[in-house]
Amino acid sequence: VQQVTVRPQVDGRIDKVLFVEGQPVKRGDVLVQIDPRPFLVALHQAQGALARDKAQLETNQANLKRYEGLKAQNLVAGQQVEEIAGQVGQFEGAVKIDQAQIENAQLQLDYTQVKAPLDGIAGVRQVDAGNLVRQTDANGIVVITQIDPAAVFFTLPQDQLASVAQALARGDVPVEAYSRDGATRLATGKLAVLDNQVNQATATLRLKALVPNADRVLWPNAFVKARMLVETHKDAIVIPLVAIQRGPQGAYVYAVGPDNTAQMKPITIALTTGDVAVVGKGLSGGEKLITEGQNQVRPGGRVQPVVPGAAPAAPGRPAGPDRRRRGPEAEQGSGAPPAVRPESGQTRPRGPATGPTASNQPAAP
For residue 11, which of 135, 121, 113, 193 has the smallest C-alpha distance? 135
Q: Where are the domains of the chain?
A: 1-28+119-145, 36-111, 150-228, 237-360
CA–CA gap between residue 280 and residue 38 (Å, rounded) = 77
Which comes out higher in pLDDT, residue 167 or 310? 167
Distance CA 63, CA 54 (A): 14
Are 137 and 23 within 8 A, CB to CB?
A: no
36-111: in CATH 1.10.287: yes
| Three-state secondary structure call for residue 134 | coil
Q: Between 194 and 76, whose confidence is greater?
A: 194
pLDDT for 217: 87
Flag whether pLDDT at 190 surpasses 90.
yes
Write the CATH number of the domain with boundaries 1-28+119-145. Answer: 2.40.50.100
Please report the pLDDT score of residue 295 as a whole number: 82
| Residue 221 or 344, more confident | 221
Q: Could you give the CA distance from residue 125 to residue 25 in angstroms, rounded to a whole number?
A: 13
Matching CATH number, 237-360, of 2.160.10.10, 2.40.50.100, 1.10.3720.10, 2.40.420.20: 2.40.420.20
pLDDT category of residue 313 using cuts at 50, 70 and 90:
low
What digits encode the pLDDT tens for the residues 22-70? 888 999 999 999 999 999 999 999 999 999 999 999 998 898 888 888 8
CATH code of 150-228, in short, is 2.40.30.170
Q: State whether residue 301 is helix, strand or coil.
A: coil
Instruction: Say yes or no to pLDDT of 331 above 80.
Output: no
pTM: 0.58
- Give the angle 300-356-304 at the CA atoms, nearest 5°: 65
Q: Which amino acid is at 349?
A: P
Angstrom CA distances, 92 to 68, 117, 206, stand at 19, 38, 59
In the predicted structure, residue 350 carries a pLDDT above the cut 60? no
For 287-304, write each residue's pLDDT tens digit. Answer: 888 888 888 888 888 887
Q: Max Cα separation, the chain? A: 142
Question: Is pLDDT at 114 greater than 50 in this prediction?
Answer: yes
List b or e across 294-303, with b for residues whose CB sees 16 or more CB atoms inside 10 angstroms.
bebbeeebbb
362 — pLDDT class (breaks 50, 70, 90): very low
Element (H, E) at 162: helix 161-170
Contact 105, 180 (CB under 8 A): no
